[in-house]
Amino acid sequence: MPATSPEQVDQLFAAALNAGDIDALVALYEPQASLTPSPGTTALGATAIRAALSGFLAAKPTIRMVSVRVVAQAGDLALVTAQWDLALTGQDGKPAQMSGQSVEVLRRQNSGQWLFAIDEPFGVGAA
């Protein structure tokens, strides 16, 4: 199901992540999008984003979107922020918790579907 509004992209991301569906996750990004999978690391393009998200899925994460809102929109571009909570298995095999406030730039495609152009899950404070 394609996102027909900027807010829906984060909801679809959560559903795909919780299902462990790498194809659905990568489909939410433009082919040349950027993702910051961890502070100080950038994945550029679909191949790098797939690799970053595949590694992340190995930790069996579950995410909950606490709130998603459009900060600003101009035509086919939207600035979105999402507050999220995440549970996963840490590298030591123990349960771990994370939370954050993302900053995202989304672009409406010719088809009307919204996709990530820039995804900063940890927000500007972690850069």
pLDDT of residue 126 exceeding 60, the answer is: no
pLDDT of residue 39 exceeding 90, the answer is: no
Encode pLDDT of 96-109 as tens digits. Answer: 898 999 999 999 99
**CB count, 10 Å around CB of 30?**
17
Show the domains of the chain with their CATH numbers: 6-126 (3.10.450.50)
pLDDT of residue 92 exceeding 90, the answer is: no
Cβ burial 47-57 (10 Å sphere, 16+ → b, else e): ebbbebbeebb
Q: Give the model's confidence band at 89: pLDDT under 50 very low, under 70 low, under 90 confident, else very high.
A: confident
pLDDT of residue 29 exceeding 90, the answer is: yes
